[in-house]
């Protein structure tokens, strides 16, 4: 008799992963090196340590260590809210009348409401170990800022958060949570920094972008004693920390002999998607028995860095203060439409995922937000979880794939990442319910203006 798979699969604390998974160590074609914007040569640790904490910089440059030990101090932090559940979506399967098996890894059970805490904790830990007293960061929809505020409160660090202005207006309660944890929250662009003032001079009514907020956070960090900048996505050390998601998921699936055919994640800067797929993609790249396992990134049609972006060296911020990163990008000057309700507002994509996409290992598709919210509501009515708008992009693709299985009769195993809850996104759900939510797909002319901001350097010829 076949043993029924539980609705919720939990690991015990003793089964929690002791290592992060460094996907670059098994990639034949590795991402191109980060470049110093002045010399256009590969950035050294010394170049980056003026902005970032030392240990994350070392992790950023490490392309050879496959399994990176998680320090005990971070394991202790993780145990406050991990392991998270791997859930079999029995109710969604029934609603869709599909032969597919659907699973999702739910990262929304901590106070930040998302997966972002998985990297916030390590970055705050390393800052404290280094003797720093404060940190700066950016946040879009607010999950990362909330997670960083929690981590800084835990480790006793001051925090300044530059929050994308339109998001701070749409999500005032996220701002309130950050401030309750002790963070200083500034809507971006602001008049508190030189970069913010320049952006406002160009467009006084801008709703802001993650690129703008990063510029302000970096500027403040380099001008403040014993302070560094931390970020919640895009860079490779963030994906390393987020691989705790994939490591737990694989361990839980292995307990029941579950082999996924499709792994789906939403994609803004790439942190949750990269973390979820890391050990599975690593096994595929190493020639393991993964069958025809496919990986699908789902991004908003309003900010389509995968599906309509260019693969080029670009700055990570609007003010062009960061190192140059070769990635899928819409150009550092691209600012998403202010009507976009979720996060996933970044102009670029993590270099590991960009490389995998270019090499054909990762698929990508884009979705308009009204379709995404249709899927979110369909999901929540049967699964009982109010999903974040970001996560709902993955839900949309998972439902589409399950319905395709219904047509073909195939019994595929679908895994997706449910990265967080939508309780601080109720203004977006209100707009959806009132039928005032609109979709915006950038025109070729809008994208062309963003592409004009990509650096004109020999490496981009």
**pLDDT(341) > 70:** no
**pLDDT(346) > 70:** yes
* CA pair distance 268, 367, nearest whole angstrom: 12
What HEC string does 97-116 produce? Answer: CCCCEEEEEECCCCCCCECC
Domains and CATH numbers, the chain: 21-68+114-229 (3.40.50.1100), 82-113+244-454 (3.40.50.1100)
Print burial letters for 388-412: b (CB count within 10 Å at least 16), e (below 16). bbbbbbbbbbbbbbbeebeeeeeeb
**pLDDT(457) > 50:** yes
126-157: pLDDT as tens digits: 999 999 999 999 998 788 999 999 999 999 99
In 3D space, the residue among 344, 376, 83 whose CA is nearest the CA of residue 209 turns out to be 344
pLDDT, the chain, mean = 95
Write down the pLDDT at residue 289.
77
Over residues 372-386, the mean pLDDT reads: 98
Write down the pLDDT at residue 12.
95
For residue 340, name the pLDDT band (cuts at 50, 70, 90).
low
In 3D space, the residue among 151, 136, 150 whose CA is nearest the CA of residue 226 turns out to be 136
**pLDDT(342) > 70:** no
Q: What percent of the chain is modeled with pLDDT above 70?
A: 98
Over residues 107-115, the mean pLDDT reads: 94
Write down the pLDDT at residue 125.
98
> Considering Cα of 317, then 356, then 248, then 68, what sign does the dihedral take?
negative
Tokens of 316: 């990570």
Count CA atoms closer than 13 A to 160's CA, side-chain side: 22
For residue 161, name the pLDDT band (cuts at 50, 70, 90).
very high
Write down the pLDDT at residue 75.
97
* CA pair distance 149, 151, nearest whole angstrom: 6
Write down the pLDDT at residue 287.
87
Give φ, ψ of 86 to 5 degrees: -100, 120
Q: How distant, in Å, are the alpha carbons of 62, 115, 132, 358 from that of 55? A: 11, 21, 13, 29
Distance of CA 348 to the CA centre of its chain: 11
Residue 448: CB atoms within 10 Å: 11
**pLDDT(339) > 90:** no
pLDDT: which is higher, 100 or 290? 100
Q: What percent of the chain is modeled with pLDDT above 90?
A: 88
Write down the pLDDT at residue 318.
82
The whole-model pTM stands at 0.95
Burial of 381 from C-beta contacts in 10 A (0-12 / 13-18 / 19+): exposed
**pLDDT(338) > 80:** no
* CA pair distance 122, 66, nearest whole angstrom: 18
Contact 297, 393 (CB under 8 A): no
Tokens of 59: 């992790």
11-61: pLDDT as tens digits: 999 999 999 999 999 999 999 999 999 999 999 999 999 999 999 999 999
Write down the pLDDT at residue 1.
42
Q: Give Cβ neighbours of residue 404 (< 8 Å, ≥ 6 apart).
A: none
* CA pair distance 80, 70, nearest whole angstrom: 15
423-439: pLDDT as tens digits: 988 989 999 999 999 99
Over residues 81-101, the mean pLDDT reads: 98
Of the listed ranges 78-82, 187-191, 403-407, 422-426, the one predicted with least confidence:
422-426
**pLDDT(333) > 70:** yes
- By DSSP bridging, strand 158-164 and strand 184-188 are parallel
């Amino acid at each position: 008799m076949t043993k029924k798979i539980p609705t919720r699969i939990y690991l015990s604390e003793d089964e929690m992963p002791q290592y992060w998974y460094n996907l670059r160590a098994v990639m034949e074609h590795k991402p191109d090196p980060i470049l110093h914007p002045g010399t256009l040569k590969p950035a050294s640790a010394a170049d980056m340590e003026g902005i970032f904490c030392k240990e994350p910089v070392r992790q950023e440059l490490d392309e050879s260590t496959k399994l990176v030990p998680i320090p005990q101090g971070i394991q202790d932090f993780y145990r406050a809210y991990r392991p998270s559940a791997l859930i079999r979506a029995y109710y969604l399967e029934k609603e869709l009348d599909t032969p597919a098996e659907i699973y999702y890894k739910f990262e929304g059970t901590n106070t930040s409401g998302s997966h972002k805490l998985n990297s916030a904790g390590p970055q705050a830990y390393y800052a404290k170990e280094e003797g720093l007293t404060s940190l700066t960061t950016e946040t879009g929809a607010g999950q990362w800022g909330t997670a960083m505020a929690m981590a800084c409160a835990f480790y006793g660090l001051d925090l300044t958060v530059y929050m994308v202005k339109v998001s701070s207006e749409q999500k005032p309660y996220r701002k309130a949570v950050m401030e309750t944890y002790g963070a200083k929250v500034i809507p971006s662009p602001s008049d508190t920094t030189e970069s913010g003032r320049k952006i406002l001079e160009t467009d006084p009514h801008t709703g802001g972008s993650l690129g703008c907020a990063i510029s302000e956070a970096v500027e403040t960090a380099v001008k403040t004693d014993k302070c560094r900048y931390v970020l919640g996505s895009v860079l490779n050390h963030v994906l390393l920390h987020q691989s705790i998601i994939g490591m737990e998921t694989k361990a839980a699936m292995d307990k029941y002999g579950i082999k996924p055919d499709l792994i789906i994640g939403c994609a803004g800067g790439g942190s949750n998607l990269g973390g979820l797929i890391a050990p599975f993609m690593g096994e595929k790249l190493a020639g393991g028995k993964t069958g025809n396992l496919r990986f699908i990134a789902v991004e908003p049609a309003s900010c389509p860095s995968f599906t309509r972006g260019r693969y080029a060296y670009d700055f990570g911020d609007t003010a062009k203060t960061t190192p140059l990163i070769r990635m899928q990008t819409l150009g550092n000057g691209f600012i998403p439409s202010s009507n976009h309700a979720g996060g996933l507002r970044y102009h670029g994509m993590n270099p590991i995922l960009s490389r995998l996409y270019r090499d054909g290992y990762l698929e990508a598709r884009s979705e308009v937000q009204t379709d995404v919210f249709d899927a979110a509501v369909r999901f929540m009515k049967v699964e009982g979880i109010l999903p974040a708008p970001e996560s709902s992009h993955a839900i949309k693709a998972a439902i589409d794939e399950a319905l395709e299985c219904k047509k073909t009769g195939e019994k595929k195993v679908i895994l997706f990442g449910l990265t967080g809850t939508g309780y601080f996104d109720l203004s977006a759900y209100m707009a959806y319910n009132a039928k005032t939510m609109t979709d915006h797909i950038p025109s070729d002319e809008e994208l062309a203006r963003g592409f004009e901001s990509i650096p004109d350097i020999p490496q981009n010829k």
